[in-house]
A and B are shown apart, each in its own frame.
Chain A
Amino acid sequence: MNYILLINGTYIVAAVLFIYGLKLLTSPATARKGNLVSAVGMFLAVSATLLNEEIIDFRWLLIGIAVGGVIGALFARIVKMTQMPEMVALFNGFGGIASLLVGWGAYHVMPLAGLFVMTTVFLAVLIGGVTFSGSLVAWGKLSEILPGRPMLFKGQTLLNGILLVAVLVGGSLFLSDPEGGYPVFLGIILLSLALGILVVIPIGGADMPVVISLLNSYSGIAACAAGLAISNNILIVSGALVGASGIILTNVMCKAMNRSLYNVLFGGFGAVTKGSEADVEGEVKPISAQDTYFILEAASAVAFVPGYGMAVSQAQHVLKELGDILEERGVEVSYAIHPVAGRMPGHMNVLLAEADVPYEKLIEMEQINRRIANIDVCVIVGANDIVNPAAREDTGSSIYGMPIIEVDRAKTVIVLKRSMSPGFAGIDNRLFYKENTRMLFGDAKESLGGIIAEFKGA
């Protein structure tokens, strides 16, 4: 039996299973099966690889699989749904470092493998390194170990430019003499790690959906480059699939914020201006849970607009409870989802699915905007920038032009908010000063609980 043929044949089967699995992911009904199909493909690919005759010692690789498997399974089980962005960011980083190490290993074993292989090794190490350190910074920002606000300093763009040039110069030096270039190679690794940190540090928390998507794509491209380096087709196919997926998501996120990728990466969003606060008119009108109850009780159509604050205070279950109470009273309840609400693509959908909200009730931005004038009460649960009318009205605002859920056109807006502090983007929200807006201050979960108590007491 020719193992090379068997291994590569299995890789073809695995590639088909990956693609079919992704195809099943296009509908919620079949998505779970798709994930399973994809996992079977992965199992086959890895099992077949064990037949590779180059493998002479199984001890350490099995230890690696055991350790990684236990850690991965534990992570996946204990992570809260609200922490998904952090977890995905971290995993992107792990994918990046794995590709870096595979590229490094390939170079270490055969530094004379030729220009093509060395170029792909260089790319795997560079992209893998940027993905790794960039993802760790993103993870730090999302889990609030690092400050979420953009960190900017003078000459940042210049420094990034210098680093990039240094990497390219190092790369051509390395490629001109791979064998004697070990120190240069190590330098490239360090530079790529530094570059990853510096690229993500100036990006603010509200832009994290873009960054995570982009790093997701990078982790795929790095795997792809590693695959080219070691001439492994399944790595090329899978890496390309993930790369494409990440690029598509990045594009969707950028469109939803009406900004170019360049602007997200180099714009230093949120650190620029505090908006034109001077011309914000009106005053903030606080409201009690009891008065909120009176308003909701009289409403016939209510839309909830969740944002990152809902994730922070884990309010999705209470929100659903309130929604159910309203529905029992004949109120038409919907949940309006902005594409960049939360910290990653589809974040709100996952949280509401966790709370058992049927997905027909989740309405996308364009649809809800079309009928928002007929909605009696919009309840904003921890969202800020995605409902800020400055995106429509204030040409000086850094979010001007971004499509928003136009809640200010509803009859009444109730904002659940911890305090008057500006959102993640650091811009003041003029929605809070509008005539038809009422502010219910406090933790979103407690506020919703308070409203429910009013309903139950009545």
Chain B
Amino acid sequence: MDPEICNEACLICMGLILVLSIFIGFEVISKVPSRLHTPLMSGSNAISGITLVGAVIAAGSAWDTMSLVLGTLAVAFATVNVVGGYVVTDRMLRMFQKKPGEGKE
């Protein structure tokens, strides 16, 4: 996990992960119907908040004020993305799921 000990094999491995993820992404997401494109967007927004994982490590391992500030800010922004993204997507998808006769939220 430490970049300093990351050797060539590790780089190739990350490259492989990257390429395969891109392929899977295209394959899966091209099947999402256009009527769900807004929830797809806000949902993938939440997923891009995964930076939170990196931010948490940065904030927790900070050794001076500067890195602590950078890490904490990153954590806060990424969490807004994660929480806000999932909650608002759920709100939208609930409407798509609504059965006739059910009241408004």
A246 near B44: Cβ-Cβ < 8 Å: yes
**The one of A46, A50, A67 that contacts B76, using a Cβ cutoff of 8 Å:** A67
Q: List A331-384 residues whose CB lies under 8 Å from chain B.
A: 337, 339, 344-347, 349-350, 353-354, 356, 358-359, 362, 364
Prevailing SS type, chain A contact patch:
helix
B52 near A35: Cβ-Cβ < 8 Å: no
A29 near B97: Cβ-Cβ < 8 Å: yes
Cα distance, A257 to B32, chains bound together (Å): 20
B41 near A249: Cβ-Cβ < 8 Å: yes
Of the listed stretches A163-171, A222-230, A404-412, A442-450, chain B binds: A222-230
**The one of B41, B53, B56, B70 that contacts A88, using a Cβ cutoff of 8 Å:** B41
A32 near B61: Cβ-Cβ < 8 Å: no
Cα distance, A337 to B52, chains bound together (Å): 36
Prevailing SS type, chain B contact patch:
helix
A414 at the interface (CB under 8 A from B): no
**The one of A38, A42, A77, A349 that contacts B35, using a Cβ cutoff of 8 Å:** A349
Contacts of B53 in A (CB 8 A): 45-46, 49, 232, 234-235
Report, as a range, how many residues of chain B touch the other chain: 35 or more
B46 near A38: Cβ-Cβ < 8 Å: yes
B86 near A42: Cβ-Cβ < 8 Å: yes
B60 near A38: Cβ-Cβ < 8 Å: no
Cα distance, A50 to B14, chains bound together (Å): 22
A267 to chain B, nearest CB (A): 23
Contact with A along B5-24 (1 / 0, CB 8 A): 01000110010011001101
Contacts of B17 in A (CB 8 A): 233, 236-237
Report, as a range, how many residues of chain A touch the other chain: 35 or more
The answer to whether residues A91 and B80 also contact, given A56-B61, A61-B59, A230-B57 and a CB cut-off of 8 A, is yes
A101 near B6: Cβ-Cβ < 8 Å: no
Look across to chain B and name the residue whose beta carbon is closest to the beta carbon of A113: B3
**The one of A21, A55, A242, A346 that contacts B61, using a Cβ cutoff of 8 Å:** A55
* A–B complex contacts, Cβ < 8 Å, 10 sampled: A60-B68, A61-B55, A75-B88, A102-B71, A219-B48, A244-B21, A349-B38, A350-B38, A353-B96, A364-B34
- 6 more A-B residue pairs beyond the given contacts A65-B79, A106-B3, with a C-beta to C-beta distance below 8 A: A32-B96, A60-B75, A346-B35, A346-B36, A349-B36, A349-B37
Contact residues of B with A, CB < 8 Å?
1-4, 6, 10-11, 14, 17-18, 21-22, 24-26, 28-63, 66-68, 70-98, 100, 104
9 smallest beta-carbon distances between A and B, as pairs: A68-B79, A244-B25, A55-B60, A64-B75, A346-B37, A72-B84, A72-B83, A240-B21, A345-B37
